[in-house]
Amino acid sequence: MSLTGQAKIAGVAGWPVGHSLSPRLHGYWIAEYKLDAAYIPLPIRPEDFAPAVALLPKLGLRGLNVTIPHKEAAFALATEQDEAAKATGAVNTLIFEDGRIVGKNTDVAGVIGMLHDAGIATLAGKHALVYGAGGAARAVVLALTKLQAAQIFIANRTQSKAQDLAKRFSIPGSAVVAVSEGTELGNVDVLINTTSVGMIGKDAGENASLPALRFDAQPGSAYAIDIVYRPLETPFLSKHRKAGLKIVDGLGMLLHQAVPAFKAWFGIEPKVTPALRAHMIEALKD
Ligand code: NAP
């Protein structure tokens, strides 16, 4: 569909941005809902990000997704932040509205949507183990908290970052577990990898696997989840699939985090469907 002079425009800012799947994702919905809209990649150097954010609303853009390395700058430039952004200290979506710059963290909704699709509507009474303590881990821990997980363990290569993450979400320090081979935990129902270990391009040598902690994950009822989606089935997922756990890949998080942003910019709450997933998997084969 060709654009009119009324077209609504949004985009993704990153440096580089060529790897981003967001134009394909939002472009799919724009075509599906036959909108007079466009979603464009915006390669913006770090030093140009603040002036760009000042200018883009004046050019009529509705907002931006923000990817590496602009997430912290986006948080600082937002004139207001939603609850998830404040809690995580990270912004992945900007909405330009009446002179305001609203910063959102939609990764939290992405994690909840991914878990819902996997049949997890609540974690009440359940124990979760989060590998990693980076930016994405914050969104995951907040999502697990919102789903009322009874216990959240955190394991990270750099112990001090795990402690910081636990403190941020008022998780007892004792829930931070040393990442060493064979460390014993109690019962765990949900394991989530939020590290970049297993990601294509980071897959060699020491990056090949996470240390095997020992826990009682019940085959058949426990879940292993990886938020990495290149490859779709990571070594972490393969290992736990073979051990009889249900596995969930990271593509669902990517798809669901886009829903609130699309709604805010274009006025329609889009659906995450099997057809959309298939469309995105095509691009992951490249
Ligand atoms: P980040 O802030 O840089 O954090 C990276 C994490 O990975 C840290 O916990 C780091 O541990 C750990 N790590 C890196 N290399 C490691 C290694 N060799 N051994 C053990 N731990 C290692 O990155 P992020 O933004 O959280 O992103 C993490 C991953 O999530 C990336 O692969 C990203 O693509 C993915 N992600 C997916 C989605 C989605 O929509 N599915 C959304 C966001 C992010 P240290 O603290 O010890 O350095």
**Sign (positive/negative) of CA torsion 118, 122, 124, 130?**
positive
92 in contact with ligand 1, CB cutoff 6 A: no
Work out the pLDDT band at 254, boundaries 50, 70, 90: very high
Q: Are residues 88 and 146 in the same domain?
A: no
User: What is the predicted pLDDT for the residue at 200?
Assistant: 84
Please state which of the ranges 198-202, 270-274, 276-280 shows the lowest mean pLDDT. Answer: 198-202
Q: Distance between CA atoms of 219 and 52, rounded to whole angstroms?
A: 50
Annotated active-site residue 71? The verdict is yes
The string of pLDDT tens digits covering residues 87-112 is: 999 999 999 999 999 999 999 999 99
Q: Distance between CA atoms of 114 and 120, rounded to whole angstroms?
A: 9
CATH code at 132? 3.40.50.720
Determine, yes or no, domain membership for 279. yes
Residue to probe by mutation, ligand 1, list 24, 65, 159, 194, most atoms within 8 Å of CB: 194
- Between the CA of 15 and the centroid of ligand 1 the distance, in Å, is 18
Residue to probe by mutation, ligand 1, list 196, 197, 229, most atoms within 8 Å of CB: 196
209 in contact with ligand 1, CB cutoff 6 A: no
Determine, yes or no, domain membership for 3. no
The string of pLDDT tens digits covering residues 167-224 is: 999 999 889 998 788 888 889 999 999 999 988 876 544 446 788 788 888 888 999 9
Determine, yes or no, domain membership for 1. no
**The ligand 1 atom nearest the CA atom of 68:** 25
Q: Are residues 196 and 134 in the same domain?
A: yes
Whole-model pTM? 0.96
Determine, yes or no, domain membership for 271. yes
With a pLDDT cut of 90, the percent of the chain lying above it is: 85
Catalytic option among 8, 71, 104, 126: 71
Specify the residue with its C-alpha closest to ligand 1, atom 43.
136
Based on the structure, what is the number of domains in the chain?
2
Range of the domain at 159: 109-249
Q: Are residues 242 and 260 in the same domain?
A: no
The string of pLDDT tens digits covering residues 130-154 is: 999 999 999 999 999 999 999 999 9
Determine, yes or no, domain membership for 2. no
Q: Are residues 94 and 198 in the same domain?
A: no
133 in contact with ligand 1, CB cutoff 6 A: yes
Q: Are residues 202 and 82 in the same domain?
A: no
